[in-house]
Structure 1
């Protein structure tokens, strides 16, 4: 097996291990309760999935060691978990496409029945709920006389109305424009009829989560009703910190694929072993927690320094051993590394276990590589020096995986990183390997 195949194989192994072990975060039972259609309250553990699409069922168990049952929207009025309220019921869903490139010409609502749990965005005397299906269509509902009522809205393609154009304008008969059915505004005018000063604000409110929640906030403020709850939109949380640790470095040089097998290329490099290096590495970090995800998935970035020194020795001689050539190579490289990882976390009480996989780019800031060649004979010794490598890559790219444990501020992790090395000489390949033990601190 050549080194290129080995490099690809190791990358695939890391990805496979990452994908396999990421399943440890699937269970996420949190304390909560549900209310039946007969008004009974049952407390226990809810399998919280931070649902992006409205679920058709929610798993529940009374205690951690008991069997799991699936709550149905038909028999469950409300589910309360992690500060969220989910209302169950049978609803009408408007399913026509809303992306501009997919709009159709029919102005008729395309309604389809669905049985699901809806997220309550505003909970109070006037309630606003939210539904999202697998096609990413967002629909909003009001709780009117105990029933979920769809706020009707649709986008479609149609011609410009004649009254919207002036006599001087010429409109192509086949030209179509984006248009909207906005019946939800009339529904809200009736639903919020005790808001005497809100007519204009209702008429100007777009059909979006942020806008409708803001409208209901205005309603409650204007009517001096303070008994309501708002489900705020999930946001990106972020952490900034520093990280430092110890890194073990090993450089492998080899004959790269495509090299002429009849030529003896670079034996002083490919037939000698470079010494390993153990040294300091450290830098600054930024981690962005993705909103509405079960496992607290995050995007982790790091800008760090690391470096290494290494040497190799190779000797060739004639058959009698009287004449020999010695090659003494010395390397010193210092890098700025940019690392980006996708991370998964599993809560362990006040701590969390995490794993990450991502890509890295090493940019050299100091490069020194020198080989001293000595010709030794029984009579004398001569030497000369030259650059170890004829050409170097402007930067190194690679893959990095990590496994760690941490709390709110302190964390510790082990890492393995592999890069495509530093040589860009034809026929001479290289791989870099780094194993690190790192300590991090979030500010």
Structure 2
């Protein structure tokens, strides 16, 4: 166990050494917009913001020092590569969390009579649809999304509340009645009362409305939020610490085996969700690994060498989106033995092969997985901890396996 802790500390040290990379900048071509509606081309530190920023860094030239701009200094900015545009907005919004575990009212009367907590906001807010009206997507410091609509010189916060009481919850979609009043000049019927409070649904509605005015107003085509696929190869090494359950006439005795480093490989196919702008992903992996360990008990030598092939399913949460990005993983796996080279050397010197028996040695392993990783462009490096239900050399014994993997992954799919 002491050796295993040393390996874990070593892997964590590698990640700590990599941490200075978190401060890396991602300056990409873009433009800042002045209050006089002029534009200045240069390079913007593009962080693929999940929460709406209130400050950006800008360079006229990649070799120059960066300078910061706030919402009081510029009217907005845009990114050349994806046409993503942000405007500096100032508005008031009610700070009412939608999470059910934050605020619970006794009844609807208490909600109706609540004291509203109004927050003044100044932020760069992303344009979702632009035309006769402009739809903005604002994400607050608690990662709660909000939509705002600008029509003529008026900026309206579109209100959506989820109200939790002691007995039930209710969704107040006030934004639908607001939109019905604001979009009366539409040249065609709009499905306002089927519009949900998320980007794709709101964009579709406002795009349909703005199409009525395309001949008069040239609209900006902002970046579409689309999911993307990642696929590629996995290579690395694993460090396994095994516990062996040895039977005697009275009970099972757990014996610690030696630890070994073995190769790891596989293929992956990941889906990155559009919502959250790259923050959430489902990972599917075809994974192969080996387990090797030896132990001597009661003058008999047990040598285990098993080659597994399995499927792994994980959820990835990216809590820092940048260059590089930092993420956490959690999931599970199921693997079966495809090659068994385990042997037992008996007291008399004879050697027996260990074979699969339903009551003695399982042919499969299930594991819980947790890990952290870094990604930069197409490369990913991860460290993972596995807790497996192991194998058994006797009935009713399930000693666990502990494993650490250090993995390098290369993505052939889309990266943005």
TM-score, normalised via structure 2 length:
0.67
Task: Give, in angstroms, the shift of residue 400 of structure 1.
Answer: 8.8
Equivalent position of 1:219 in the other structure: 209
Matched, 1:144 2:142: no
Equivalent position of 1:189 in the other structure: 181
Q: Which deviates more, 200-209 or 126-135?
A: 200-209
Asked if the contact 1:91/1:148 (under 8 Å) is kept, the reply is: no
Task: Give, in angstroms, the shift of residue 396 of structure 1.
Answer: 6.5
Q: C-alpha deviations, 1:404-442, integer Å up to 9, x for none?
A: 99987xx79898988777567889997667788888866
**Count of equivalent residues:** 387
Equivalent position of 1:234 in the other structure: 225
Task: Give, in angstroms, the shift of residue 74 of structure 1.
Answer: 2.0
Q: Secondary structure at the match of 1:24?
A: helix
The aligned runs of 1:19-418 (5 Å cut-off) are: 21-26=18-23, 27-81=25-79, 82-99=82-99, 102=104, 104-106=111-113, 110-145=117-152, 147=153, 149-153=155-159, 155=161, 178=170, 180=172, 182=174, 185-186=177-178, 189-190=181-182, 192-198=183-189, 201-202=191-192, 205-225=195-215, 227-231=218-222, 234-241=225-232, 243=233, 282-289=265-272, 291=274, 300-307=283-290, 331-339=304-312, 361=333, 363-366=335-338, 367-373=340-346, 375=348, 383=350, 385=352, 395=365, 397=367
Task: Give, in angstroms, the shift of residue 39 of structure 1.
Answer: 2.8
Q: Which runs of 5+ in 2 are unaligned?
A: 106-110, 246-252
Equivalent position of 2:248 in the other structure: none
Q: Which runs of 5+ in 1 are unaligned?
A: 160-173, 257-264, 317-324, 376-381
Alpha-carbon distance between aligned partners in 1 of 2:53 and 2:292, rounded to the nearest angstrom: 56
Alpha-carbon distance between aligned partners in 2 of 1:181 and 1:373, rounded to the nearest angstrom: 74
Asked if the contact 2:132/2:213 (under 8 Å) is kept, the reply is: no
Task: Give, in angstroms, the shift of residue 53 of structure 1.
Answer: 2.0
Equivalent position of 2:250 in the other structure: none
Q: Which deviates more, 329-338 or 67-76?
A: 329-338
Task: Give, in angstroms, the shift of residue 335 of structure 1.
Answer: 0.7
Distance 1:148 1:67, change over 3 A: farther
Asked if the contact 1:74/1:90 (under 8 Å) is kept, the reply is: no
Distance 1:17 1:298, change over 3 A: farther
Asked if the contact 1:419/1:433 (under 8 Å) is kept, the reply is: no
TM-score, normalised via structure 1 length:
0.64
